[in-house]
């Protein structure tokens, strides 16, 4: 088996497809992919559970044990490690068995990230009139928005790499994505995305109002 690190070659990006169960992983391996990752969203959705809610810890371990017999490296998406304690995250990774690596999300999207009064006010404005609020999902939320299946995505504390690839996706679908003041958000930070430009403009006006 080729070592996972050896698959990363300058000028030849590694395409890492995502599996959510044994059948999808086996199909990807048979298709010739040199390595496979998993998707926490896919694992959660297959079980009827929310992503980013720390409800799939044991299911992720079970999946890792089923996949590591495949003849290619396997990396596991483990949300935020299912803990805020580094020692507990390390112990959890040990339980995954002989995986090639893990993917750790640098944040868990839920109301606890809107901690300051300014952030709480923006969150309240964005969610005041909605019928359904969902947490987690990460970049998947932006694809849902681009498809017209959700109306608003609001986040805080993003890094540039969290949002830059998603900006053209939203804009190509006719939506708007900026920071909470209506400015460019390519450097991360506070992000507001809407499929309807009029809705976005109305939210921004209220967020920037004294």
Can you give the pLDDT at residue 47?
92
User: Does 4-103 carry CATH code 3.20.20.60?
Assistant: yes
Contact between residue 153 and residue 133 where contact means Cβ atoms under 8 Å apart: no
Residue 103's SS3 state is strand
- Give Cβ neighbours of residue 195 (< 8 Å, ≥ 6 apart): 145, 146, 148, 150, 151, 170, 173, 174, 175
Half-sphere exposure of 169 (CA within 13 A, CB side): 15
Domain boundaries, the chain: 4-103, 111-208
Q: pLDDT digit string (tens) for 72-112?
A: 999 999 988 988 788 999 999 999 999 999 998 755 556 66
The region of weakest confidence among 46-55, 87-96, 172-181, 183-192 is: 46-55
- 125: pLDDT strictly greater than 90: yes
Residues 106-119: pLDDT tens digits? 555 566 678 899 99
As a CATH number, domain 111-208 is 3.40.190.80
The answer to whether residues 146 and 195 touch, using CB atoms and an 8 Å cutoff, is yes
Q: What is the pLDDT of residues 9-62, one digit of tens each?
A: 999 999 999 999 999 999 999 999 999 999 998 998 899 887 777 889 999 999
**Stated pTM of the model:** 0.61
pLDDT at 109: 56
Asked whether the predicted pLDDT for residue 6 surpasses 60, the reply is yes
């Amino acid at each position: 088996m080729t070592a996972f690190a050896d698959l990363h070659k300058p000028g030849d990006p590694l395409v890492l497809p995502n599996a959510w169960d044994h059948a999808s992983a086996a199909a990807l391996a048979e298709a010739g992919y040199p390595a496979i990752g998993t998707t926490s969203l896919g694992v959660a959705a297959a079980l009827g559970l929310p992503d980013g809610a720390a409800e799939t810890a044991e299911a992720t371990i079970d999946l890792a044990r089923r996949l590591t017999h495949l003849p290619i490296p396997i990396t596991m998406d483990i949300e935020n490690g299912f803990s805020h304690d580094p020692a507990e995250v390390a112990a959890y990774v040990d339980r995954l068995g002989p995986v090639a690596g893990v993917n750790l999300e640098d944040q868990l999207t839920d109301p606890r990230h809107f901690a300051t009064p300014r952030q709480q006010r923006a969150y309240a404005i964005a969610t005041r009139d909605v019928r359904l609020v969902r947490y987690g999902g990460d970049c998947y939320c932006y694809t849902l928005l681009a498809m017209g299946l959700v109306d608003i995505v609001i986040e805080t504390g993003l890094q540039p790499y969290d949002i830059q690839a998603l900006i053209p996706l939203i804009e190509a679908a006719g939506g708007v994505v900026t920071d909470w003041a209506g400015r460019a958000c390519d450097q991360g930070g506070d992000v507001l995305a809407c499929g309807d430009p009029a809705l976005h403009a109305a939210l921004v006006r209220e967020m920037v109002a004294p």
